[in-house]
Chains A and B, each alone.
Chain A
């Protein structure tokens, strides 16, 4: 059984907050719930951004996710 949206979000946020990597690709979250499809995972991660708990980091060509304040960036230096 795939996790509920809220449980999935909690797992994703935990990984973003406490994992060794500050910035993560959406694929890095796939392991949070092998039962959830890529689309569910990306929607859950994007929800966390909407809630202000995570932020996007973009090189311009690639986009990654980071817990709020963890992204390595000019604005956070």
Chain B
């Protein structure tokens, strides 16, 4: 495949940020189909329109996920990218790697694909970008036999679960995000690889309410770490922040002179519940008022730590705007201990998941995310289905309209009445 002139893309080799164009050119020396990626992209830059077409039935045999088909609409000019399917590899939980594993993946992709990747896709998969239909089965064979790895999800499947790095390298992980993510990923291999649902379904696991994997914004099933006892305070470290010995917010503001650290202005007054105060040089917290927003912990990580009674809050139904508008996940299970049983399963979490699925598979419409189903049918019904006791924590405020869907058995005497008797007392 010949090299194409790319005067427009060449402009993106300038500037301080790493250039994907330079990188593509480097790769093209070994994988000439990258010249056709550059050529077709240059054409898009000229035409201001994409030159890719839908895939459809491509995949590895028996799997309904993990491969997304893609074809060029100018294959005669760029034969190297005539087929350009995506392969999604299920990433290891929280995306730690060693070089031996990554080199194996690189070698596999040098053999069967374009050499281009996404590290990582939006859902979390390690994405291999660009191969042909005939290469899919051999690639899958080598992937499973030699690399001991598997594909992720796509389509109406459980999508590849993802998690924050949690306890691996963070002091705020209130449950073992990697363990939960990996265990459920293994538990639900069938749902990841074969369609099961009205539409996509995503799991995301964040170890604390800072929510570094955006579980509350992006996942149908968000497990977010929290605690229910008292924030642990190291009063000596509090004094260290006040005296300036320790940099506030772990040094996150070091590039600008914001003045001396002021615990009142920067911590107490920014607490959304106002549950903190100073008595002399001792920090006090009324933990019963705390909503665990993380601000004070973020600002003084040496002084404040999550409580010891740790677990998670489960929120359900987040999604991007398509179709009914964006939704954040709705707080559904206020607190759950994230614990494995003797069989090595997170049985309590699994039970919640499967209650949601059983209901959504039954009543969800085609291409309707579970958050939209809940929106359409109502949170009260969803809570009943989930057998969860309704609590004020489920709402920001009570409803302001009086249109309650009363059930007949809730009303004294039921709904059956005799209009003839009624007319005897109340004339027309």
Q: Is the interface of B mostly helix, strand, loop or mixed?
A: loop
Please give 15 more A-B residue pairs, beta carbons under 8 A apart, in addition to A58-B68, A61-B155: A25-B366, A26-B198, A27-B366, A38-B361, A49-B64, A58-B64, A58-B155, A62-B366, A63-B155, A71-B56, A73-B55, A73-B69, A74-B53, A74-B69, A75-B58
If A25-B366, A62-B199, A76-B57 touch, whether A56 touches B64 (CB-CB below 8 Å) is yes
Residue of B nearest to A30 (CB): B362
Q: Is the interface of A mostly helix, strand, loop or mixed?
A: mixed
A66 proximity list for chain B (CB < 8 A): 57
Do B57 and A55 have beta carbons less than 8 Å apart?
Answer: yes
B61 proximity list for chain A (CB < 8 A): 52
B156 proximity list for chain A (CB < 8 A): 25-26, 62-63
If A39-B361, A71-B57, A74-B53 touch, whether A62 touches B367 (CB-CB below 8 Å) is yes
Q: 8 Å CB contacts to B: which residues of A18-37?
A: 25-27, 37
The answer to the question of A42 belonging to the interface, with a C-beta cut-off of 8 Å to chain B, is yes
Residue of B nearest to A27 (CB): B366
Residue from B133, B155, B197, B198 in contact with A60 in the complex, judged by beta carbons closer than 8 Å? B155
Do B195 and A74 have beta carbons less than 8 Å apart?
Answer: no
Do A46 and B56 have beta carbons less than 8 Å apart?
Answer: no
Do B196 and A42 have beta carbons less than 8 Å apart?
Answer: yes
Do A63 and B157 have beta carbons less than 8 Å apart?
Answer: yes
A76 proximity list for chain B (CB < 8 A): 57
B321 nearest CB across to chain A (Å): 14
Q: 8 Å CB contacts to B: which residues of A39-77?
A: 39, 42, 46, 49-50, 52, 55-63, 65-66, 71-76
Q: What string of 1s and 0s marks CB contacts (under 8 Å) between B182-209 and chain A? A: 0000000010001111111000000000
Do B157 and A59 have beta carbons less than 8 Å apart?
Answer: no
A55 nearest CB across to chain B (Å): 5
**A residues neighboring B (CB under 8 Å):** 25-27, 37-39, 42, 46, 49-50, 52, 55-63, 65-66, 71-76
Do B200 and A61 have beta carbons less than 8 Å apart?
Answer: yes
Do B155 and A56 have beta carbons less than 8 Å apart?
Answer: yes
Q: What string of 1s and 0s marks CB contacts (under 8 Å) between B42-65 and chain A? A: 000000000001111111011111
B341 nearest CB across to chain A (Å): 23
Bound state CA distance, A20 and B366, in angstroms? Answer: 18
Do A46 and B155 have beta carbons less than 8 Å apart?
Answer: no
B63 proximity list for chain A (CB < 8 A): 56
List of 7 A-B pairs having minimum Cβ-Cβ separation, nearest first: A63-B155, A73-B56, A38-B361, A63-B195, A56-B64, A58-B155, A63-B156
Do A62 and B361 have beta carbons less than 8 Å apart?
Answer: no
Do A49 and B361 have beta carbons less than 8 Å apart?
Answer: no
8 contacts between A and B (CB under 8 A): A26-B197, A39-B361, A42-B194, A46-B195, A50-B62, A58-B155, A62-B155, A63-B155
A8 nearest CB across to chain B (Å): 16
B112 proximity list for chain A (CB < 8 A): none
Bound state CA distance, A71 and B55, in angstroms? Answer: 12
Q: 8 Å CB contacts to A: which residues of B116-158?
A: 133, 154-157
Residue of A nearest to B71 (CB): A74
Bound state CA distance, A42 and B156, in angstroms? Answer: 11
Residue of A nearest to B63 (CB): A56
